[in-house]
Amino acid sequence: MARIVVLGGGFAGLWAAIGAARKRDEIGASGDIEIRLVDRNPYHNIRVRNYEVDLSEVAIPLPQLLDPIGVSHAIGEVEAIDPARREIALVTSSGEETLAYDRLVLALGSEVRRPDIPGLSDHAFDVDTYTAALRLEQHLAALGRSAPSPGRTTVVVVGAGFTGIEVAAEMPDRLSHAGLNGSRRIILVDPNPAVGATIGTHARPSIETALSALEIETRLGVRVASVEAGGMRLSSGEFVPTRTVIWCAGMRASPLAARLPGARDRLGRLLVDPFMRVADLPGLFAAGDVASSVVDGLHPTVMSCQFARPMGRFAGHNVVADLAGLPLLPLRIDWYVTVLDLGDWGALYTEGWDREVRAAGAVAKATKQIINRKRIYPPLSGRKADLFAAAAPTVQAPPPTYGAR
């Protein structure tokens, strides 16, 4: 029996596994092809919701999604990949294991990169994973139960990109939820001279308006010099008393990508063709944040579930087709939108690679909530037909907008 292994259970990996099972079922090869998904966690994390107040629905057990479609799953840490021998070195609860494959889909995603700043690894939080988000939630709850102290109600968010802005904008609600009211401060720090430097000039006025309305301070053009239990020092010399520093600066592809031969981009992502194949590595496909593909003839994908989900669906379809000697399908996406959550102020909806603003405030917030709570979720019915229908190798239409700004 041939074996397909999918490494990673995030947006790309989950949909690669379901997409592969769908194609396997379509060609009647269920008895000939094994599909196995390996992840370090037993759940699929709706990662883009890790900044929110309520984390109760952001971790979906993998058995609920994979058992109905005949995909096996295992918990393990990937140590190495040998594409020549087509073997994966894993560490599981049973110890070191070697897993052979005929085809591999690498979908180990990305991770926040923490530079070597004194105290950062010991004292900072992040929302990169479900575990990290829970740790932050528990920390805020503990602060809410503690006696008043310097910096107790001050939160510093480092990185004014997409994640940092969403974390900062949601923080007023998170502090209220934790019982941290009164003279609270939320400070957004970034080395760039403007907030949302990577988001573009069209979106910036709305972002600045929202941050002002939410009473979020900014420290721009400065870097973090050090972090300690009671505060953070900036390169400007300012010391900010705080018990909560949240690091949201700098994403990189999984380090496993760097250990494989082949071309990579500045984020460490493997370059893949429109079929999600990694050049010069036979039998190896990649999707999601660990891969970069030019999907419209001009622009490479960005690290977001907007691209990870279709990349996964097409990778899953194509890995089975490749194994069975059938034609592969190229992924083409001719639209790009961003929907940035801005807390109680609302959200910001932009279209195109130059990010022209199409909606803002409550109107855009309605779209954001549909995306976060419905659009990016797999079917939870437990029915094979529903899962296979959602895994078809197609590209969704852009999310709806409900009016103009």
> Where on the phi/psi map is residue 178: left (φ > 0), alpha (ψ -120 to 50), or beta?
alpha
Where residue 404 falls among pLDDT bands split at 50, 70, 90?
very low
**Mean of pLDDT values over 308-320:** 98
d(C-alpha 282, C-alpha 275), whole Å: 13
Pairing relationship of beta strands 77-82 and 244-247 according to DSSP bridges: unpaired
Same fold, 2-111+251-335 and 114-247: yes
CATH number of the domain at 2-111+251-335, please? 3.50.50.60
Give the per-residue pLDDT at 198: 85
pLDDT in tens, 373-386: 999 999 999 999 99
pLDDT of 402 > 70? The answer is no
Q: Are 323 and 4 in contact (CB under 8 A)?
A: yes
* Residue in 297, 251, 252, 243 with CA at minimum distance from that of residue 273: 297
**Mean of pLDDT values over 67-90:** 97
Q: Are 167 and 343 in contact (CB under 8 A)?
A: no
pLDDT in tens, 262-299: 899 999 999 999 999 999 999 999 999 999 999 999 99
pTM over 0.85: yes
The token pair at 309 is: 């989900």
pLDDT in tens, 15-40: 999 999 999 999 999 999 999 999 99
* Residue in 117, 195, 203 with CA at minimum distance from that of residue 163: 195
**Mean of pLDDT values over 94-103:** 96
> Where on the phi/psi map is residue 215: left (φ > 0), alpha (ψ -120 to 50), or beta?
left
Residue keyed to tokens 């889909």: 105
pLDDT of 333 > 70? The answer is yes
Alpha carbon distance, N-terminus to C-terminus of the chain? 56
Q: Give 282's DSSP letter.
A: T
Give the per-residue pLDDT at 182: 82
Give the per-residue pLDDT at 181: 87
Looking at residue 172, its amino acid is P
Q: Where are the domains of the chain?
A: 2-111+251-335, 114-247
pLDDT of 173 > 80? The answer is yes
Q: What are phi and psi of 201, to 5 degrees?
A: -75, -30
Q: Is 400 helix (H, G, I), strand (E, B) or coil?
A: coil
**CB-side exposure of 302: number of CA atoms within 13 Å?**
12
Distances (CA, A) of 338 to 207, 239, 335: 13, 34, 10
pLDDT of 401 > 80? The answer is no
**Mean of pLDDT values over 207-224:** 98
**Across the chain, what does the average pLDDT equal?**
96
Give the per-residue pLDDT at 197: 87
Topology of domain 114-247 in CATH is FAD/NAD(P)-binding domain (3.50.50)
DSSP notation for 111-160: EEPPP--TTHHHHEE--SSHHHHHHHHHHHHHHHHSPP-TTTTEEEEE--
Give the per-residue pLDDT at 405: 42
The token pair at 302 is: 């960005």
pLDDT of 349 > 60? The answer is yes
d(C-alpha 128, C-alpha 170), whole Å: 15
pLDDT in tens, 109-162: 999 999 999 999 999 999 999 999 999 999 999 999 999 999 999 999 999 999
pLDDT of 193 > 90? The answer is yes
